Amino acid sequence: MDAKLKLTKGGQKSLSNCFTFERFSFSRHINIDLTAAEVGVLVVFGVKQKDDDEDQISTLTPESSFVFSHLSIPKIAGGNQNQSCLLIRINVQCLQRMLSTIKYSPLGNRQFYEALNSFAMPSCRETNILLSSLDLYSKLPTLESSEVLFESKLLELLWLLNLKAKTNFDRFVSPFLIPKRSFLDAVINKYYKENLSVEQLAGLAGFSVSTFKRKFDEAYKCSPKRWIQEKRLNEAKTLLEFSDRSISEIGYEVGFENISHFIQSFKTKFGITPKALKESFLQKRQSLDQYSIAS
């Protein structure tokens, strides 16, 4: 957990292997990382987000709000005063079990690109009542013996999310329940431009790291790192041919953070630098244009 300026952490409590929860407060803003095996529900009591910062989730009400997320929770901004929070970490397998009792509309195989890693929902009357209960239960010293009660409240939360934020809920939970191979394909094609670790990609695909690597090798006959590199370079080649953007713009566009590395990798694969290839494509286009005019 990485909090900027000030973070006051409370004690973390665990309910078997299914849930952990933690109370804390923060000022200014906070970033929270999650493991691939858990989903986080962050309850923020009394915070309003700004609408003019794309790094922050917007349109939350001044009362209570919550963010549902996998892998990491987007930056949450507070005010000058400490904001009280409750972070609930739910084991993915427990989440899958609870979702089996809820009727929802999962994404089809061709809609994977619409899947969400996180979404936020402002409070309403029903969620305020539920959040008050969660806030109360999190303060009880005997919560370790109340797993069934706490799970029932989380199930109620999922039900409310499905009711109040139907579209976003469907887009968020689908990756946890749809066919694994199809989602492996969707994840790698969606996130190849992002600088994610193998652990993060495995989590997005719903696999352990070892299973992800094995299934990836079966599907693509290479490692995830190699596939991503090849995908980026092939896309860069296409952009060099049909786009007027600069070499640096294209390198960043396809996911390279270091342009020197992009140029070297490109030359290693294609035997020519991006600049030389772009000039070659430009000459061919000019020749074709002149031929068309002459004709």
Query: Which residue from 235, 263, 264 is spatially nearest to 248, judged by alpha carbons?
Result: 263
Q: Is the pLDDT of residue 166 over 60?
A: yes
Query: Which residue from 152, 148, 144 is spatially nearest to 14, judged by alpha carbons?
Result: 144
Q: What's residue 172's pLDDT?
A: 82
- The pLDDT tens digits for 207-223 are 788 888 988 888 888 99
Q: For 2-176, CATH number? A: 2.60.120
Q: Is the pLDDT of residue 145 over 60?
A: no
Kindly list the domain boundaries of the chain, sorted by start residue.
Answer: 2-176, 180-292
Percent of the chain clearing pLDDT 70 (strictly above) = 66
Query: pLDDT tier at 28 (50, 70, 90 boundaries)?
Result: low
- pLDDT average, residue stretch 127-150: 70
Q: What's residue 24's pLDDT?
A: 78
- Give the residue, 264 or 25, on which the prediction is more confident: 264
- pLDDT average, residue stretch 282-293: 64
Q: What's residue 227's pLDDT?
A: 93
Percent of the chain clearing pLDDT 90 (strictly above) = 17
Q: What's residue 133's pLDDT?
A: 78
Q: What's residue 50's pLDDT?
A: 44
Q: What's residue 67's pLDDT?
A: 76
The answer to pTM > 0.75 is no
180-292: CATH class: mainly alpha
Q: What's residue 60's pLDDT?
A: 36
Distances in Å between the Cα of 112 and the Cα atoms of 40, 50, 172, 213 are 21, 29, 10, 20
Q: Is the pLDDT of residue 140 over 70?
A: no
